[in-house]
Amino acid sequence: MRQQYARRTQALTSVLGFIALAIIVQMTRIQNSAEAVIFSQQAQNYAYELKTFYPDRGEIYDRNGRLLAGNKTVYEIGVDLNTVRDPHAVAFAVSAELNMDYNQILDGINNPPQGLSYIVIADFIEAQQAFNLQELKRALQEQAAEGTLGGLTGLQFKAHPQRSYPEDALASNVIGFVTREGRGYFGIEGKYDTLLSGNAVQVLVPTDPNKAFEIPRVQNGTTLILTINRDLQSAAEEILDSALLTYGAQGGAIAVMDPRNGEMLAMAASRRMDLNQFWNYNVIFDKSSEFDTAISKPYEPGSVMKILTMAAALDSGTVTPDTSYLDTGSILIGGVTIQNWDQQPWGVQNMVGCLQHSLNVCMVTITSQMGAGIFYDYMNAFGFGHLTGVDMEGEVSGRLKVPGDADWYPVDLGTNSFGQGVTATPMQMMMAVSSIANNGRMVMPHTLYAMVRDGRQYNVPAQFAGSPVSEATADTLSEMLAVSLESEASLALVPGYRIAGKTGTAQIPVNGFYDSAQTNTSFVGWGPVDDPQFMIYVWLERPSESIWGSETAAPVFAEMAEKTVILLDIPPDYIRQQLVAK
């Protein structure tokens, strides 16, 4: 009997073992089947949904930490068509708060496009207005709980960031703007759009609120610190606006730069816009070149160019400061007679007198002695005809005609020497002249001081564009320019500070001929001469009160320089020299 029971037990165990093995095999087959994979994916899709997260745009600050561009929270207001209970109440509440058309809102709710379950009523709504509607919805929901009112059920609020400019129009030509699509245009916003906007992240997000910790952290865009001094920028804009009224000019620009490293401290253009209302761009500007005239509007600079012509002559050994010549008031070059600005002879002059009296005949004389090859080699080294590389969107280059160009003529060698027949932007002129203020080294202008990312600051180093002249030439010419200003008691002089600089008056070509009644007036100067810490460029377009740079741009320079030394805390020369002596 015992053997019989043992056999039965073994048989039962074998059958159960076989069944267990079959179950395991079947489970393994099912788990690895295509149907199981699909089921697993469907289960994951029910637990997660694919979402795209957009980072907040990086902020923009001035060099002293003043916020110039940031972000604020605004709201999209829409209606969930599956849950809305009282379209009339929703339309009435929204139209009253947002000053929108009631019938249009109601029609949108009652007659949505086919297939939609959600419609947008309005977007970019200020937080306070959205808060008011949220409070009203909450109050009506409490009443609906007690009665049968539909309330504002279905009204939805979606928060998102919008670019904000706390200073409104201040430095607008430097900063640029961001549209509601998130694209940066002009200035810093355009140039560094990719850095500022950051990278969007697309991930699977758990629908279970208990797993909210799994939602990834999106790194915000890079924060930028500019070289711009907010107070100096404000002063430049005020002084420019006042100058336009005083001298009846149609436009212009004022730029302030540190000639030692190319940092732009201020850049004011005559047309500016409230960046919070970027949609007014087409109302304020006729074309893109007007957004920042300092980098995007070339013009014939006139006699400020004489600084560079003299630099080339000194550096090439063509002349020395004491070289003299007989000024007869006119000179023939390329079959054309060139005259001085006053059409008068000035007799025997040296090179300091040449600069002091801004004599065209002198410039034509020394360029003729240099020859076209040497002259244009220097002008090319100064960067004319090339972009400066300033880190702002919208820069254009002027044009320097050279021998071999189809429209270059021998007379151009003469007219180019005093800034006619050649075009440049104020930024190009500042970069070229920086070589004289900075001991022969030409700086590349820039507006970015530092970048902040992941809590770390990365400073932007100064860059140089070569040394077109020697240190000795630069120092000699700076002294010549300072003496020439002092000798003529220029309106550009700043009490307590030695300044080097030069005026410019250029006739404007109209219908192929130069109109002596319409001019561009300019002044470029730097100081203190023994330790240059600022360079200022002033450009006034078509002033009506006077056609001369000495009477318009020069006093504007002096006013801007006085404000600059105060805001940059630069002591007068005698105090600095006493401190150095100690």
Write the CATH number of the domain with boundaries 241-269+299-444+463-581.
3.40.710.10
Start-end of CATH 3.30.70 domains in the chain:
71-166
In the structure encoding, which two tokens stand for residue 145, read together? 């709980």
- CA distances (Å), 582 to each of 402, 532, 569, 570, in order? 52, 20, 19, 17
Map 7-75 to HEC letters.
HHHHHHHHHHHHHHHHHHHHHHHHHCCHHHHHHHHHHHHHHEEEEEECCCCCCEECCCCCEEEEEEEEE
User: Residue type at 134?
Assistant: Q
What is the reported pTM?
A: 0.84
**Residue 358 — φ and ψ, nearest 5°?**
50, 60
Q: What is the DSSP letter of 489?
A: T
Q: In angstroms, what is the C-alpha Rg of the chain?
A: 36
SS3 for 470?
Answer: coil
Helix intervals (H) in 99-166: 102-110, 127-146
Q: How far apart are CA 42 and CA 14, in angstroms?
A: 39
Kindly report the CA angle at 221 between 220 and 223, in degrees rounded to 5? 110
Q: Is the alpha carbon torsion for 206, 211, 213, 214 positive or negative? A: negative
Tell whether domain 71-166 is in CATH 3.30.70: yes
Q: Which residue is it, tokens 């309005």? A: 122
Q: Are 71 and 57 in contact (CB under 8 A)?
A: yes
Q: How far apart are CA 524 and CA 522, in angstroms?
A: 7
- CA distances (Å), 105 to each of 79, 109, 120, 279, in order? 10, 6, 10, 24
Q: How far apart are CA 177 and CA 66, in angstroms?
A: 17
Start-end of CATH 3.40.710.10 domains in the chain:
241-269+299-444+463-581
Q: How far apart are CA 361 and CA 302, in angstroms?
A: 14
pLDDT tens-place values along the chain, 582 residues long: 555 556 666 666 776 666 777 677 666 666 666 555 554 555 455 566 666 667 889 999 999 999 999 998 888 888 888 888 888 888 888 888 889 988 888 888 888 888 788 889 888 888 899 898 888 888 887 766 544 456 788 888 888 888 999 999 999 999 999 998 889 999 999 999 999 988 877 676 666 656 555 566 677 889 999 999 999 999 999 999 999 999 999 999 999 999 999 999 999 999 999 999 999 999 999 888 889 999 999 999 999 999 999 999 999 999 999 999 999 999 999 999 999 988 999 999 999 999 999 999 999 999 999 999 999 999 999 999 999 999 999 999 999 999 999 999 999 999 999 999 999 999 999 999 999 999 999 999 999 999 998 889 999 999 999 999 999 999 999 999 999 999 988 899 999 999 999 999 999 988 878 888 899 999 999 999 999 999 999 999 999 999 999 999 999 999 999 999 999 999 998 888 877 766
Q: How far apart are CA 166 and CA 147, in angstroms?
A: 46
How far does CA 134 lie from the centroid of its chain? 38
